[in-house]
Amino acid sequence: MYLLIPGRHQLLTQFQFEYLQNIISNGLQRMADAFGNPVTQTGKIDAVIFAVTSSNHSNTRRNPLPFYLRAISIEAFGNELNIPVYIYGIDDVANLPNFAGYTIKRIKHESEGQINCTPENTLVVCSTPVLNMYHELGFTILPAELDDINTWHHSTAMPWDVVEAIASNPSWKQDPFVQQHMHHTSFKVWDKYKAGDKVQLLFRDAMISNDGDLTETRDYNVYVRQMDDISEMKYQDTAPFIQPGRIGDIGCAVGSWIKLACRDARFRESDFYGIEVSRYLYELCQQRKINGEFANPFVFFSKKNAVTGLAFDAGSMNTIHTSSLTHEIESYGSRADLLQFIRNRYEELVHGGVWINRDVVAPYNKEEETLMNLNETDGSNEDPHKLFTDKASLAAHLQQLSTYARFLRFSKDFRKAEGYQLPYAETIIGEKKYIRLSLRDAAEFLSRKDYTDNWQSEMHETFCFWDFNEWKEQMQLAGFSIHPSSVAFTNEWIVENRWKGKAELFTMKDGQPEPAAYPITTMFMIGVKP
């Protein structure tokens, strides 16, 4: 008879050990299942199986420890049970309704058919709602910590309760709660590999979701395609300023910029370091490396947040590159996070090293009032605020709206979650309709109006918080000098393909609208550490 224990198993508790040891020593007599029914199986326990779910995830709040550390802890734990213990990693497959069935099949596959768990030969030890999936397959559920399935009340601390206690206490090793509940085998692993420090860092990081992403509304298939489509242009813009040596790309997405830099003969002796906070994109980088897509073998990827700490050793980098990243820090974090990010990059560079930052930027005179005339005949004006439950339907609806109707939708959605209310007024001058608003908000709309595939995610982001001069000032305050090739400009491709015929800008002069230039879109800032 097997005991199957599914879970993420970030750590193990003293209760778990005593519970399993009691079953192994005394058998299943007089035990009740999670629903209060007598357990009918009577065979002795031959082995304990730990199914470690989300085994391919690590370095996130939900899964801080990598699989190998979890397995080390379980192995030491199992050695004290004096019974065979098997450990199988179960990769994350998102919200799979039959995840229990998938787990059973993975165990059979990974064990080369040696272990085939069935309701007749296996009892499942589980005290979370996951137990319902195994119950539906006919398995008997042993409740462990669960003492009331109607209220999901537990009689003692759960493993995750201990993780959260560690996350909130820098002195966790002396914490009586942790000492009482954490099994000593897990304690040793967490202490030896400094897992407590890692967990505290992850839990402090308000920018990143539990699964290690900046936003949970981004369609990464669309996002990756967009990044790859423009990588060649971005590399050619930055290539003249890259210094050989240690070259880092923070927010490297799927490694496209590094891939191009690896082909540049000037950097054949250089080492490349890609930093990516998104778990999904980081895994794609690793897969690309396995596929042999990088010409230089000295390419290394890390999953880190470059805001909460240094991404590289202080004074170690010759070149740091960022692209379309700094506005996300302002958008999903805070102004304090952005300022810390700038200071971190300064600390990481060698003297004479460069930080090359390409990103969106606010127009000069961004607070000035402007008039915007929008095309009302290039699509539908019907029900611009219609709500949808899925991204594809929303994208299709937005795509068929006129530019004018899309602005009406934008005015309601833009940074709504952040509490922003876009002020504007409609006015008629000479039988022509204009929208009166700040140049900043006009630029925000123009820069975002065509991102219909990722609308929900884009509505969280602000592009126009600092203009070029404000950027220079903040860089200089951090210690940088500004390379003379730094520049802000209007992307003419965007003007020709997205704005002309869709939107016109005007300023008032002598009581009449006068045509105005389209706003600046892009900044190319090169900071040098003196």
Q: Do 124 and 44 reside in the same domain of the chain?
A: yes
Q: What is the pLDDT of residues 405-420, one digit of tens each?
A: 999 999 999 999 999 9
Domain membership of residue 435 (yes or no) is yes
Per-residue pLDDT band for 307 (boundaries 50, 70, 90) equals confident
Whether 209 shows a pLDDT value over 60: the answer reads no
Are 110 and 92 contacting, i.e. CB atoms less than 8 angstroms apart? no
Q: Residue 471 burial (CB < 10 Å; 0-12/13-18/19+)? A: buried
pLDDT band at residue 212 under the 50/70/90 scheme = very low
For tokens 């296996």, what's the residue? 122
Instruction: Note whether residue 138 is domain-resident.
Output: yes
The verdict on residue 490 lying in a domain is: no
Roughly what angle, to the nearest 10 degrees, separates helices 220-229 and 231-238?
A: 50
Residues whose CB falls within 8 Å of the CB of residue 18, separated by 6 or more in sequence, listed in order: none
Shared-domain flag, residues 22 and 69: yes
Percent above pLDDT 70 for the chain: 94
Whether residue 198 sits in one domain with residue 238? no
The angle that helices 468-477 and 335-348 make with each other, rounded to 10 degrees, is: 60
- For residue 435, which of 378, 497, 503 has the smallest C-alpha distance? 503
Same domain, 236 and 356: yes
Q: Which whole-number Å values give the CA distances from 301 to 78, 127, 312, 324, in the listed order? A: 33, 37, 12, 19
Q: Report the C-alpha gap between 441 and 464 in whole angstroms.
A: 8
State mean pLDDT over 188-201.
92
Do 345 and 441 lie in a common domain? no
Least confident interval from 18-27, 65-74, 182-191, 310-319: 310-319
Distance of CA 3 to the CA centre of its chain: 35
pLDDT, average across residues 136-142: 97
Q: What residues contact residue 71 under an 8 Å CB cut-off, 6+ apart?
A: 52, 87, 89
If one compares 84 and 236, the residue with the highest pLDDT of the two is: 84
- The DSSP result for 321-379, as a single string, is EEES-HHHHHHHS-HHHHHHHHHHHHHHEEEEEEEEEEEE-BPTTTTSEEEEEE-SSSS
Does residue 479 form part of some domain?
no
Kindly report the three-state secondary structure assignment for every residue of 268-316.
CCCEEEEECCCHHHHHHHHHHHHCCCCCCCCEEEECCCCCCCCCCCCCC
Q: Please say if the pLDDT value at position 218 is more than 60.
A: no
Predicted local distance difference test score (pLDDT) of residue 217: 47
Q: pLDDT-derived band of residue 233, with 50, 70 and 90 as boundaries?
A: confident
pLDDT of residue 63: 84
Three-class SS state of 530: coil
Which of 360, 378, 413 lies at the terminal end of a domain, its last residue? 360
Please check whether residue 254 is in contact with residue 496, taking contact to mean a CB–CB distance below 8 angstroms: no
- Provide the number of structural domains found in the chain: 3
Residues ≥6 apart with Cβ < 8 Å to 37? none
DSSP state of 402: -
**Could you read off the pLDDT of 461-470 as tens digits, one per residue?**
999 999 999 9
For 21-74, how does the pLDDT look when each residue is reduced to its tens digit (9 = 90+)?
Answer: 999 999 998 899 999 999 998 889 999 999 999 898 876 778 889 999 999 999
Query: pLDDT band for position 203 (50/70/90)?
Result: confident
Q: Is 103 part of any domain?
A: yes
Q: What was the pLDDT predicted at 500? A: 97
Q: Please provide the size of the chain in residues.
A: 530
DSSP 100: H
For the segment 367-392, the average pLDDT, to the nearest whole number, is: 95
pLDDT of 219 higher than 80: no
Mean pLDDT over 440-452 rounds to 97
- Indicate whether 224 pLDDT > 90: no
pLDDT at residue number 234: 80
381 and 355 both lie in a single domain: no
57 and 198 in a single domain? The answer is yes
In this structure, of 288-297, 367-376, 405-414, 421-430, the range with the lowest mean pLDDT score is 288-297
For residues 384 and 409, give the distance between their C-alpha atoms in angstroms, rounded to a whole number. Answer: 6
Q: List, for residues 468-519, the tens digit of each pLDDT value.
A: 999 999 999 999 999 999 999 999 999 999 999 999 999 999 889 999 999 9
- As a whole number of angstroms, the distance between CA 517 and CA 160 comes to 56
Q: Are residues 91 and 177 in the same domain?
A: yes
Query: What are the backbone angles phi and psi of residue 422, rounded to the nearest 5°?
Result: -75, 115
Judge contact between 223 and 276, C-beta under 8 A: no
Per-residue model confidence as pLDDT tens digits over 384-402: 999 998 889 999 999 999 9
The span from the CA of 318 to the CA of 320, in Å, is 7
One domain for residues 405 and 502: yes
Looking at every residue in the chain, the average pLDDT score rounds to 92
Does residue 298 share a domain with residue 239? yes
Residues 62 and 121 in one domain: yes
**Half-sphere exposure for 249 (CA within 13 Å, toward CB):** 28
- DSSP per position, 158-186: -HHHHHHHHHT-TTGGG-HHHHHHB-HHH
Q: How far apart are CA 247 and CA 319, in angstroms?
A: 5
Q: Are 177 and 157 in contact (CB under 8 A)?
A: yes
- Asked if 129 and 108 sit in the same domain, the reply is yes
CA angle 265, 230, 264 (to 5 degrees): 0
Q: Is 486 within a domain?
A: no
Q: What is the pLDDT of residues 73-102, one digit of tens each?
A: 999 999 999 899 999 999 887 667 889 999
Q: Which of 321, 336, 360 is the last residue of a domain?
A: 360
CATH number, domain at 264? 3.40.50.150
The CATH number for 193's domain is: 3.40.50.620
Q: Which residues contact 239 (CB under 8 A, 6 or more apart)?
A: 261, 264
What residue numbers bound the domain in which 21 lies? 2-204
Q: Is 435 exposed, middle or buried (0-12, 13-18, 19+ CB in 10 A)?
A: buried
